[in-house]
Amino acid sequence: MDNLNKLYDIRLKIPKFLKFLIPKFIKRKINKKFFPYYFLITNYQKLPYLNYINNNNLDKQKILIEKFDINQQQNSFMTCPYLHQLLLMNYNANEDFSFLDMGGEYIDFFLQLKKNFKNVKYYVYNLEKINNDFIKLKLDFKYQNLNIISKVDEIFNNKFDFVNFGSCIQYFDNYEVILKNITENSNQIFFSGTTLFETDKKNYQKHVIARQVNIFPEINYCYFFNKQFFYNFFYKKNFNLVFESKNITDNVNFKNFDSLFKKIEYKDFFFKKLNS
Q: What pLDDT does residue 214 have?
A: 77
Q: What pLDDT does residue 99 have?
A: 98
Q: Domain ranges in the chain?
A: 37-273
Instruction: List the end-to-end C-alpha distance of the chain, in Å, as a whole number.
Output: 45
Q: What pLDDT does residue 59 have?
A: 94
Nearest 5°: the CA angle 193, 194, 196 is: 140
What is the residue type of 249?
T
Q: What pLDDT does residue 38 have?
A: 86
Q: What percent of the chain has pLDDT over 90?
A: 75
Q: What pLDDT does residue 8 have?
A: 46
Q: What pLDDT does residue 6 have?
A: 57
Q: With respect to CATH, is domain 37-273 assigned 3.40.50.150?
A: yes
Encode pLDDT of 199-248 as tens digits: 988 778 999 999 988 766 677 899 999 999 999 999 999 999 999 999 99
Indicate whether 30 pLDDT > 90. Answer: no
Helix count and strand count (H, E) for the chain: 10, 10
**What SS3 class is residue 184?**
helix
| Confidence category of residue 55, pLDDT binned at 50, 70, 90 | low
